[in-house]
Amino acid sequence: MFEAAARVDDYVAVIDIGSNSVRLVVFSGLKRVPDTIFNEKVMCGLGAEIGVTGKMGKEAMDSAVSTLKRFRALCEQMQVSRIEVLATAAVRDAKNRKAFINRVRRECGIEIVTINGEEEGRLAAHGVISAEPHASGIMGDLGGGSLELARIENGEVHETISLPIGPLRLQSMYGDNRRKIKKHLRDLFDEIPWLQQSSGQNLYMVGGAWRNIAKLMMREKSNPLPILQGYRNSRSEFTNYCKRISRLLPDDIPFASSLTSRRRAVMPTAALILLEVLAAMKAKSAVVSTYGIREGLIFDKIDDRDRPMDPFLFTCHVLAAERCRFAEHSELLYEWTRPLFWHKVPDPALREKLHHAICLLSDIAWRGHPDFRAEKAVESVLHGHFVGVSHRDRAYLAVAMNQAYGASVDLGHVAHILPLLKINEILEARMMGAALRLAQRLSGGTAAPLENSRLRVSKTKIYLGVPKAYRDIANEVVLKRLTQLGQLMGRRAAIEYPKDLQAAAE
């Protein structure tokens, strides 16, 4: 079920020909969460002139053809087994699309599939769902020439619409006239009845321009975890930020010097579009999705039996198989720690997922130098290429992993992300880490000591129950780890020898 390594003959390439950029992504195969083997984009600007002339410009087409030739050659070098080539708004709407498609076929040996706006929205929404299976709200995919909106709920895509309001197109129509752009946007959004049905839900932001807005916002706020996937903030925060960005000249936007001039040029208009979408749907929050049309295409083509799999746990299983010594004991570890978490938690399904992940990844840093294993484990979960987890979830995992390797929670490699968590969440994550540290000392990574022992919690004590035959194993070294766990729980530690465990061991 969980493949540890990709084979070259499984590689699948997706080329996305958009209004602003042409991008190649090579994936490790048709699987629930494929690895990205290669990722490159070139800003060709095919849609820059369509709003005025109705056609793709000659220089933009020359750039796109040159880029596609390179991408085709790279795919041949990488022995890619299949290439999917999609064209969206710019090619779809251009009067000279047939000439461009024929030229690409003739000069590049590539067959372009031009998809309509509804299909583009559906695929982008599937990309969001593949990364966030429980996503509910509106998916918005902003390209240079169009905005696709889709209503998603319970893992299903419902209504979709494609609107010709990408930043390149709006700028070619209205220049920098904010008043006219806002009126045009509001008139369009008022005609979409299901947009208001998602009031109080999330907007899932797809597309480079909106991701760049979130990236710059994170930099201004010195966000403790600079990971785009899963980054969320309230509508009011994004609204206030976008109002300011939409009024600035591109070169005056704080921190935007890190972007290309073409990316900077569309930022004010992209911010204005985001502002109006959030207002039209009365969103609760906005969430960044780095998964979009390309990942949605892969999700569309995988086996139906694989789609319900949780994407985060899928990746954890793959990593455990690759890097951990005792990955097969993860379920045993999970069950062994359950007595510690008898109390109610706000989201039990999420806690269950996170605790399973911690058990899977608990041994991930064993090859590291002993002095830096905690740091290595924390870095793996904070900055790993995961989907299906929020920034808060990553922080929870990091605290648990840090504790599992016996490091102090106030050290620099983990302390900076603590503000993402509440104090009870920090303590709970530390409890989970301390329990795994105890399990490792008790079992040495073998199954039998865990199968023949158990934890029990009373109002004042935490007990480790073992058979009498385990007296030599459960000595003062194990008691020390148990005591450390008890301190986090506000309970004294004790080792007991229940009769039923004695009988089972015999």
Do 8-114 and 117-294 fold alike per CATH? Answer: yes
Among the residue ranges 2-11, 99-108, 184-193, 245-254, the one predicted with the least confidence is: 2-11
| Average of per-residue pLDDT values in the chain | 93
Q: What is the pLDDT of residue 474?
A: 87
Instruction: Give this prediction's pTM.
Output: 0.91
- Please count the other Cβ atoms lying within 10 Å of the Cβ belonging to residue 368: 16
pLDDT above 90 for 343: no
Q: What is the pLDDT of residue 3?
A: 52
Instruction: Provide CB contacts within 8 A for 451, sequence distance 6+.
Output: 332
Instruction: Provide CB contacts within 8 A for 224, sequence distance 6+.
Output: 395, 416, 417, 419, 420
d(CA 499, CA 482): 21
> Could you tell me how many residues make up the chain?
506
pLDDT per position as a tens digit, 119-136: 999 999 999 999 999 999
pLDDT per position as a tens digit, 14-59: 999 999 899 999 999 999 999 999 999 999 999 989 888 999 999 9
Q: What is the pLDDT of residue 4?
A: 46
Topology of domain 8-114, per CATH?
Nucleotidyltransferase; domain 5 (3.30.420)
- Across residues 402-411, what is the average pLDDT? 96
Helix or strand (DSSP H, E) at 16: strand 12-17
Q: C-alpha distances in angstroms, 489 versus 97, 349, 460, 481, 482?
A: 66, 22, 9, 13, 11
- Across residues 334-353, what is the average pLDDT? 87
pLDDT above 90 for 344: no
Helices (H), 362-422: 373-383, 391-404, 412-415
Q: What is the pLDDT of residue 506?
A: 59
d(CA 270, CA 238): 12
d(CA 450, CA 239): 52
Pairing of strands 285-288, 156-163: unpaired
pLDDT band at 172 (very low <50, low <70, confident <90, very high): confident
pLDDT above 80 for 272: yes
According to CATH, the superfamily of the domain at 311-505 is Hypothetical protein af1432 (1.10.3210.10)
Round to the nearest angstrom and report the end-to-end CA distance of the chain.
36
What whole-number percentage of the chain has pLDDT above 70? Answer: 97
pLDDT above 90 for 116: yes
- DSSP for 153-217, written as a single string: ETTEEEEEEEES--HHHHHHHHTT-HHHHHHHHHHHHTT-HHHHTTTTSEEEEESHHHHHHHHHH
What whole-number percentage of the chain has pLDDT above 90? Answer: 83
d(CA 360, CA 312): 11
- Across residues 413-440, what is the average pLDDT? 96
pLDDT above 70 for 6: no
pLDDT above 60 for 71: yes
**Boundaries of every domain in the chain:** 8-114, 117-294, 311-505
According to CATH, the superfamily of the domain at 117-294 is Exopolyphosphatase. Domain 2 (3.30.420.150)
pLDDT band at 196 (very low <50, low <70, confident <90, very high): confident
d(CA 311, CA 308): 9
Assign 3-state DSSP to the chain and report helix, strand, coil percentages, each to 5: 55, 15, 30
Could you give phi then psi for residue 320, rounded to 5 degrees?
-65, -40
In degrees, to the nearest 5, what angle opens at C-alpha 223 toward C-alphas 217 and 227? Answer: 85
Q: What is the pLDDT of residue 501?
A: 83
- Across residues 409-438, what is the average pLDDT? 96
